[in-house]
Amino acid sequence: MSTHQEEILSKCSLLLGSVTIGLTLADWDLILSIVLKIVSIISFTVVIALNVEKLSNKVKNWFK
């Protein structure tokens, strides 16, 4: 490797280390599981919001 490539690699490694702040794999697993749970809650809420009209029609038909 040339000196220029090593310098670029060092800067990229330093940037990656600064961004991840030395998190371990277990920390990343926890963070990503929380993000996935948030995404699933949002998608579940969106599906319910899109089908509220169908649900209200079924409830009205049940009470007739």
In a domain, 30, yes or no: yes
DSSP string, 3-47: HHHHHHHHHHHHHHHHHHTT--HHHHHHHHHHHHHHHHHHHHHHH
Question: pLDDT per residue over 3-55, tens digit each?
Answer: 777 888 888 888 877 777 777 888 889 989 999 999 999 999 999 999 888 88
For the entire predicted model, the pTM comes to: 0.56
In a domain, 54, yes or no: yes
Q: Is residue 44 part of a domain?
A: yes
- Is position 16 within any domain? no
- Here the tokens at position 24 are 């371990």
pLDDT attached to residue 38: 97
Q: Evaluate whether residue 11 is within a structural domain.
A: no
SS3 63: coil
**How many domains does the chain fold into?**
1
User: For residue 48, what are the domain limits?
Assistant: 22-64
Q: Please, which contacts does 13-21 make with residues 24 or more away whose CB atoms are closer than 8 Å? A: none
pLDDT of residue 12: 83
